[in-house]
C-alpha cells in the first residue's frame, strides 16, 4: 500500500509546513516574503515535494497535489529573487552577480546566494566578533550545497533542466570560497562576503569539501555543462577532501554524513570517488559519533538546552539511511546499527512534537528552521529517496 498524506507523521508535517508557508509569505497576504533563509528553504522545497508525492499516491488525492508543487516552485523563485539580490538594508542594490534585467533573472545563482540574515555583513573596517558573525549576512558554503541538492532534485521532479543549470552555476560559484596557498595547495573558508570578494570567516567548515565535491559531481553529471570549470573545481575539492577527516559528535553533522552515505553510494554507480569520500569511509566516520550522541540524548537533556534543527538533522539522516537499506545492501554499504540507534529517530521526533518542549525559547527563537527540519524528518520515513538520492 502506498504511503498517504493521511498518515500521522505526514499530517503533522503538513500542519508544520502550512504554518511556515503562511509566516513566510508563500501563501496569503500576511506573511513576510523577505523572510527567506537559504538552509530552511532548501528543506522546505523538499518537504513540499514530499507532501505532493504522498498525496498523489493516496487513494483519494486532494487539490493539495497541485498546491504543494506550486509552493515548492514559489519558494525557489522567492529565494532567487530575494537572496540572489542585495538585501533591502544594504546600500548596494540589484543582483549580487552585477547582471542587469533579464540577464540577472536568468542567472540568479551565478554569483552565489545570500544566507538571509537580517543584519548586514561585517564591513572591512569593522572588528571581527565571532559571536556577532553568526547574526550577520554573507554567503555560507554549506548553505550553497544544501540548495544545490534541492535544485537538482526539483529539476528531476519537475523535469525542468533550467533548475539543474542554476544548481551547476551555484556549485561553481563555490570555487570563490577556495584560495591557493603557496606551496600548501588549496584552502577554503566557510563564510564569504555577499559579493564573494573577501572571507568573513577564514576557516573551513568540517564537512564543506565533502558536500562540495558530491554536489559538484552530481551537478556536472546532471547538466553535462561547464566541463572545464568543473574539472578544475572538482580537482581542488578532491585535494581538500584528502586532507580532511569527517568524524564528529555533532548530531546535525552525523545526520548529514548519513545522508551522504546514500548519496555517495549512488554517485559511485556512475563516477569514481576518491577513497576519502567513499560510502564506507563516510559510514565509519558517522558511526564513531553515533553512540556519543545517543548517550547524550538518552539523558533527556532539557529542551531549553537543545536545538531542534540539530537533533532533527540526525533523525532525518537515520530515516534516509533506513529507508534506503535495500539500495545500500545491493552495494554492500548497509550499516549494522543496533535497535537503540534506529530508535533514536523516533525519540527525537517525539521529543520535539511535544507541545511543552516547543515552548522552549530555543524552539520559538528559531521557529522556521526547527519546524521545517522536524517536518523533513517526519516526511523522510515515507519518502526517504527524495531526501537522499537523485
Give residue-wise pLDDT tens across range 263-289.
999 999 999 999 999 999 999 999 999
Which DSSP helix (H) or strand (E) runs through 32? none
Q: What is the pLDDT of residue 65?
A: 47
Q: What is the pLDDT of residue 223?
A: 93
CA separation for the pair 345, 343 (Å, rounded): 5
Contact (CB, 8 A) for 251 and 316: no
**DSSP string computed for 297-366:** HHTT--GGG--HHHHHHHHHHHHHHHHTHHHHHHTT------HHHHHHHHHHHHHHHSTTGGGSHHHHTT
CA separation for the pair 56, 65 (Å, rounded): 6
3-state secondary structure 240-255: HHHCCCCCCCCHHHHH
Q: What is the pLDDT of residue 37?
A: 98
CA separation for the pair 307, 363 (Å, rounded): 7
CA separation for the pair 333, 326 (Å, rounded): 10
Would you give the DSSP letter of residue 128?
P
Query: How many C-beta neighbours within 10 Å does residue 299 have?
Result: 6
CA distances from 387 to 2, 196, 324, 373 (A): 18, 29, 10, 12
- Residues of the chain whose pLDDT is less than 50? 1-2, 65
Give residue-wise pLDDT tens across range 351-385.
999 999 999 999 999 999 999 999 999 999 999 98
Which DSSP helix (H) or strand (E) runs through 273? none
Amino acid at each position: 500500500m502506498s504511503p498517504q498524506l493521511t498518515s500521522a507523521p505526514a499530517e503533522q508535517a503538513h500542519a508544520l509546513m502550512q504554518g511556515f508557508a503562511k509566516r513566510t509569505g508563500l501563501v496569503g497576504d500576511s506573511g513576510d516574503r523577505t523572510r527567506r533563509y537559504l538552509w530552511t528553504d532548501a528543506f522546505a522545497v523538499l518537504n513540499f515535494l514530499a507532501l505532493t508525492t504522498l498525496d498523489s499516491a493516496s487513494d483519494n488525492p486532494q487539490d493539495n497535489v497541485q498546491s504543494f508543487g506550486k509552493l515548492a516552485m514559489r519558494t525557489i523563485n522567492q529565494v532567487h529573487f530575494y537572496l540572489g539580490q542585495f538585501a533591502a538594508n544594504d546600500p548596494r542594490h540589484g543582483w549580487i552577480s552585477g547582471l542587469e534585467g533579464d540577464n540577472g533573472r536568468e542567472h540568479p545563482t551565478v554569483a552565489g546566494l545570500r544566507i538571509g540574515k537580517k543584519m548586514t555583513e561585517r564591513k572591512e573596517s569593522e572588528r571581527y566578533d565571532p559571536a556577532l558573525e553568526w547574526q550577520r549576512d554573507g554567503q555560507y558554503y554549506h548553505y550553497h550545497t544544501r540548495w544545490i541538492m534541492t535544485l537538482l532534485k526539483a529539476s528531476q521532479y519537475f523535469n525542468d533542466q533550467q533548475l539543474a543549470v542554476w544548481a551547476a552555476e551555484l556549485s561553481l560559484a563555490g570555487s570563490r570560497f577556495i584560495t591557493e596557498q603557496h606551496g600548501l595547495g588549496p584552502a577554503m573558508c566557510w563564510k564569504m562576503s555577499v559579493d564573494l570578494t573577501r572571507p568573513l570567516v577564514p576557516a573551513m567548515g568540517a564537512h564543506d569539501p565533502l558536500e562540495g565535491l558530491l554536489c559538484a559531481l552530481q551537478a556536472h553529471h546532471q547538466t553535462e555543462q561547464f566541463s572545464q570549470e568543473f574539472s578544475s573545481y572538482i580537482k581542488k575539492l578532491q585535494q581538500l577532501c584528502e586532507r580532511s577527516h569527517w568524524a564528529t559528535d555533532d548530531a546535525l553533522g552525523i545526520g548529514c554524513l548519513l545522508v551522504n552515505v546514500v548519496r555517495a553510494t549512488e554517485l559511485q554507480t556512475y563516477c569514481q570517488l576518491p577513497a576519502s569520500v567513499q560510502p564506507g569511509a563516510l559510514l565509519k566516520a558517522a558511526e564513531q559519533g553515533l553512540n556519543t550522541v545517543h548517550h547524550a540524548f538518552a539523558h533527556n537533556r532539557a529542551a531549553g538546552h537543545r536545538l531542534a534543527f540539530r537533533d532533527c538533522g540526525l533523525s532525518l539522516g537515520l530515516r534516509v539511511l533506513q529507508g534506503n537499506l535495500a539500495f545500500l545492501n545491493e552495494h554492500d554499504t548497509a550499516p549494522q546499527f543496533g535497535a537503540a540507534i534506529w530508535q533514536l529517530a523516533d525519540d527525537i521526533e517525539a521529543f520535539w512534537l511535544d507541545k511543552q518542549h516547543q515552548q522552549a525559547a530555543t524552539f520559538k527563537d528559531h521557529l522556521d528552521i526547527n519546524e521545517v527540519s522536524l517536518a523533513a524528518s517526519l516526511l523522510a520515513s515515507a519518502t526517504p529517496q527524495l531526501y537522499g538520492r537523485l
